């Protein structure tokens, strides 16, 4: 009776850990399916034919990453600077410029990356396009709130943004009739080379299969260890 009792807690915790590991593996399998559907949807959107520029948010919500074009004039004196790094990890900004459309509505355009030392418009004057321009790019939806609790707040006073907050940007720049989404400009070169467009990160990491295999392997290893433990205990009990 005492031998059986002594196995209760080891068995209890082993079973608990085993079920937890199985649960984590199954969760990663579910995440794998979700990520594959997300990747497929994004690929389908990016490779689909261009569409007319939507207007209400409801029309844009199912069209993220679709190609659009918009014609208007940039409001260059009201640029926003979104903290970013380039592919090599160098610090800089994404320049988000309001584009005033023919009907007076305003579309925010992420024109692309500039190095940290080129923030001043005078240092990239050629790229400060004047007059009527046509911009092509991908529809992007801004988050409804801070994407993660650990992110710093946007600094409106410094014009330094961590994430795109369209209502706050519109208020800060005193812009009316701002569309409730923005576009990432494509890689068409700008005069002078800046900003560098085509910055949309389309590839999504998908390591869920490896994670699932790891959790299931740990569960199997735990089961083997537990069986060996029970056999040893029984052998010791028989020897006594």
pLDDT mean by block of 10 residues, the chain; 240 residues? 67 94 96 92 91 93 95 97 92 98 97 96 96 96 92 95 97 96 96 95 90 96 93 73
In a domain, 55, yes or no: no
Q: How many CB atoms lie within 10 A of CB 206?
A: 13
**In this structure, what is the dihedral angle of CA atoms 190, 195, 198, 200, given to the nearest 10 degrees?**
-160
Number of domains in the chain: 2
Q: Both 26 and 136 in a single domain? A: no
Q: Both 187 and 83 in a single domain? A: yes
Query: Are β-strands 80-85 and 160-161 bridged in parallel, bridged antiparallel, or unpaired?
Result: parallel
Q: Is the dihedral of CA 165, 169, 171, 176 positive or negative?
A: negative
Query: 208-239 vs 8-47: helix axis angle to the nearest 10?
Result: 170
Write the CB contacts of 166 (distance below 8 Å, at least 6 apart in sequence).
Answer: 108, 142, 178, 180, 181, 182
Q: Both 224 and 176 in a single domain? A: no
CA distance 231 to 238: 10
In a domain, 49, yes or no: no
In a domain, 182, yes or no: yes
CA 221, 224, 230 angle in degrees (round to 5)? 140
Q: Both 186 and 152 in a single domain? A: yes
In a domain, 198, yes or no: no
In a domain, 52, yes or no: no
Q: Both 104 and 179 in a single domain? A: yes
CA distance 205 to 191: 33
Q: Both 30 and 138 in a single domain? A: no
In a domain, 105, yes or no: yes
Q: Both 135 and 189 in a single domain? A: yes
The pLDDT of residue 1 is: 47
Q: Both 144 and 216 in a single domain? A: no
Q: Both 6 and 33 in a single domain? A: yes
Q: Both 105 and 19 in a single domain? A: no
For the domain that residue 132 is a member of, what is the CATH number?
2.40.50
Q: Both 139 and 33 in a single domain? A: no
In a domain, 56, yes or no: no
The pLDDT of residue 139 is: 97
CA distance 217 to 220: 5
Q: What is the DSSP letter of 123?
A: G
Q: Both 85 and 119 in a single domain? A: yes
The pLDDT of residue 8 is: 84
In a domain, 223, yes or no: yes
Range of the domain at 28: 2-42+206-239
What pTM, to 2 d.p., does this model score?
0.80
């Amino acid at each position: 009776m005492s031998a059986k009792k002594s196995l209760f807690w080891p068995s209890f915790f082993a079973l608990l850990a085993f079920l937890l590991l199985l649960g984590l593996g199954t969760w990663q399998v579910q995440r794998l399916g979700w990520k594959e559907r997300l990747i497929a949807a994004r690929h389908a959107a990016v490779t689909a034919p261009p569409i007319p520029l939507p207007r209400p948010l409801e029309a844009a919500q199912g069209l993220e990453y679709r190609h659009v074009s918009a014609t208007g004039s940039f409001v260059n004196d009201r640029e926003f600077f979104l903290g970013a790094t380039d592919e090599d990890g160098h610090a800089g900004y994404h320049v988000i410029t309001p584009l005033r459309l023919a009907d007076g509505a305003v579309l925010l355009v992420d024109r692309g990356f500039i190095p940290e030392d080129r923030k001043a418009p005078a240092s990239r004057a050629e790229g400060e396009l004047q007059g009527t321009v046509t911009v092509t790019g991908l529809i992007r939806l801004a988050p409804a709130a801070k994407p993660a609790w650990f992110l710093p707040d946007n600094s409106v006073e410094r014009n330094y943004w961590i994430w795109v907050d369209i209502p706050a940007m519109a208020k800060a720049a005193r812009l009316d009739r701002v569309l409730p989404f923005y576009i990432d400009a494509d890689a068409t070169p700008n005069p002078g080379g800046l900003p560098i467009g085509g910055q949309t990160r389309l590839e999504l990491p998908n390591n869920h299969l490896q994670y699932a295999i790891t959790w299931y392997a740990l569960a199997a290893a735990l089961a083997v260890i537990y069986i060996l433990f029970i056999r040893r205990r029984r052998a010791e009990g028989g020897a006594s």
